[in-house]
Amino acid sequence: MITRTTLGSPGLTVSAMGLGCMGMSESYGAADWEGGLATIDRALELGITFLDTADAYGSGHNEVLVGRAIHGRRNQVQLATKFGIDRSAGDRARRIRGSRDFVLRSCDASLLRLGVDVIDLYYAHRPPQDVEIEETVGAMAELVEAGKVRHLGLSEVDGDLLRRAHAVHPITAVQSEYSLWTRDVEAVVPVMAELGVGLVPYSPLGRGFLTGTLDRATLGEKDFRRTNPRFAGEAGAANEKIAQTVREVATRLGATPAQVALAWVYAQAERLGVALAPIPGTRSPARLEQNAAALELTLDAEALAALDPLSDQVMGERYLPAHTAEVARSQDTP
C-alpha cells in the first residue's frame, strides 16, 4: 500500500503519491471518460487516494468524472480542486479571477459537479488578476467557516503572495510544477518551510517528456504540448538529451524513466524541509502501477549526480507567454 504524508501545519493527511486527473479531460488529447474511471478505480485499490482536479479542466468535465468515480466511497479519498481560471470568453481570452463573489460561486458549482458536501483542499488556481490576494483568501476562509472546505491551497505563487495569503488564513499546501527540469518553486520553499506549508508538485514527469516514452512527432492536434516551448522545434530536440540521461539512469537501476523522475522528486523532501505529495497524471492503470512503484526506489549518489544538474540544461519556457504571465515568480527564482 501507498504510504501517507501530512501536508502543512493545519495537517491534511494524504497518500504520499496523488493522482493528477486533468489529462483525463483535456490538454493531452480527447477526453477519456472510461479510461479515467478505470484509472481512478485502480488508484484507490493501490491506496492512491489524493485526487487532484479543477473546475477549469474540461470546463467542468473533469470534476464530474472524478465525482462519478468516487461516488459511494467519498470517505476513502482526499479531494482537491481549484478555482480561478475563467474561460467563459474562450481559452485565448481567459482571465484569472478571485473576487469574493466569484470564489463563493465557484465553490458551490464545484461541490455540485463533484457530488460532495465538502472539499478537502481548495486551491486558488493562479494568483488573481482582478483583486488582491487578501480578498481571495478571505473568501476561501469563509468557505472553511461554512464547512464547505477543509483546507486552503494556492498554486504557482511567490513567497510574498504566500505570506500575505497565510496572514489571512493558514495555507496548507502550495501546488507548483516541480520536477527534474522545473525547479522554480525552490525559491519559495524557504517561506513554505517557515510557515508550515506543504508542497504538491504537479507535472513531476515533465508532462511526459521525462518518461522516455514520448514521441513528439505523434502529438495530436488537441495536445497542448505540440506548441509548448520545451517540446517544440529546436528546444524540443535539444531537450532530448535530458530524457536520454534519465533513461540511462533508469537502465542502470532496473527501473523505468518515470520511476526515476518521481524518485528524484521524493529524494528532495529532506533537503527542502517540507512535506510533499506529487500528483503525476495518467489515464492508464498500467502506468499508474509503474508510477506507484517509484515510492520503493532509492536513488544512489551516482544517480543523483547525473540528475541534479539537468534543470540547468533545459531549453524553453514552461508555457507560452500568455500563460507564463499568469505564474507568480520570485525575484530570485533560478
Sorted by where each begins, the domain ranges of the chain are 4-210+265-297
Per-residue model confidence as pLDDT tens for the chain (334 residues): 789 999 999 999 999 999 999 888 865 556 678 889 999 999 999 999 999 999 998 888 999 999 999 999 999 999 999 999 998 777 667 899 999 999 999 999 999 999 999 999 999 999 999 999 999 999 999 999 999 999 999 999 999 999 999 999 999 999 999 999 899 999 999 999 999 999 999 999 988 889 877 655 666 565 656 667 777 667 777 788 998 999 999 999 999 999 999 999 999 999 999 999 999 999 889 999 999 999 999 999 999 999 999 989 886 666 555 555 556 655 443 3
Instruction: Name which CATH class applies to 4-210+265-297.
Output: alpha beta
Cell numbers for 37, please give them: 474511471
Active-site residue set: 57
Taking the model in full, what pTM does it have? 0.90
